[in-house]
Amino acid sequence: MKAIVLAGGTGSRLFPSTKGVSKQLLPVYDKPMIYYPLAVVMQAQIQEILIITTAEDQQAFQRLLQDGNPWGINIIYAVQKEPKGIAEALILGADFIGNDDIMLILGDNIFYGAGLSNQIQQAQNELRNNQASIFAYYVDQPQRYGVVTFDSQAKALAIEEKPKNPTSNYAVTGVYFYPNDALILTQKLTPSNRGELEITDLNQIYLNQNRLQVKILPEGFAWLDTGTHESLIEAGQFVYTLEKRQGLKLGCLEEIAFKNGWITQKQLLSWAATFSSSSYGSYLIQKYSTKQ
């Protein structure tokens, strides 16, 4: 299985902050935004990752993440020339994916909650049955998202992209698991009135084929879409509060890589020493320098 992280777009809702830097490179408290979706990918035990960026921002991503070697993963890059929809990521990443199944995650989404790894594992298990999986989350402003309508048995009936009059408050979050045939199905999509290949249209195809699992994230989970100034502040405050109270780091790539057995303690500490003057580096050094 391989993963695509979509980190393109102009970040226009965050102008002027994003006039000079990619939205996904902005800090969310103590680390770049893209660390958080990368952490979810690594929790899914996926080591082959494609990051899709703009031509202007690709070098900055490469400077930050290199080829993924510090975390025992392999990162390659591709360019999305202009925003043409989330589903276009599957076209741009087709050669990279090859014959594998796909995890697609948006570079500005943050997920947190007990049992997150179990939710991911369930979605991966569904792929063995040729089933796609997406996650729904209750929101106050569903008109900003793809919205799922459920029947009385919590079975998904339809998905509509940014409806003016939403029929439910359940938004589709920015992480998707697809069987390999998503690459073929995406080729058949036609652009919407917005001129984009809508991921909602792909999800609807799987729903029509009775091959889409829509999992409602339970209470206690947090899904943060950091696309506005307000949500960016809220995300930073959330991460700060969580880390301060629990003494843990959310989205700590080195820690996840170590727990996955992808890097050694020596490698973790060597990498952490390069930014030891930051609280992030100090956390890793203090926590793992005494572990045997």
Could you state, in order of their start, the residue ranges of all structural domains in the chain?
A: 2-130+174-261
Residues 6+ apart with CB under 8 A from 12: 18
Binned at pLDDT 50, 70 and 90, residue 8 comes out as: confident
pLDDT surpassing 90 at residue 33: yes
Buried b (16+ CB within 10 A) or exposed e, 95-128: ebbeebbbbbbbbbbbbbeeebeebbeebbebbe
Taking only the tens place, the pLDDT of each residue in 66-85 is: 999 999 999 999 999 888 88
Q: Which residue has the tokens 């919205």?
A: 147
pTM of the predicted model as reported, rounded to 2 decimal places:
0.93
| Whole-number pLDDT of residue 167 | 87
pLDDT surpassing 70 at residue 222: yes
pLDDT surpassing 60 at residue 101: yes
The top-scoring range by mean pLDDT among 11-20, 89-98, 133-142, 186-195 is 89-98
pLDDT surpassing 80 at residue 9: no
Taking only the tens place, the pLDDT of each residue in 194-203 is: 888 999 999 9
In the predicted model, what is the mean pLDDT of residues 165-193?
Answer: 93
Binned at pLDDT 50, 70 and 90, residue 63 comes out as: very high
| Whole-number pLDDT of residue 178 | 97
pLDDT surpassing 60 at residue 292: no
pLDDT surpassing 70 at residue 10: no
Fold of the domain spanning 2-130+174-261: Spore Coat Polysaccharide Biosynthesis Protein SpsA; Chain A (3.90.550)
Binned at pLDDT 50, 70 and 90, residue 11 comes out as: low
| Whole-number pLDDT of residue 72 | 96
- State what percent of residues in the chain have pLDDT above 90: 67
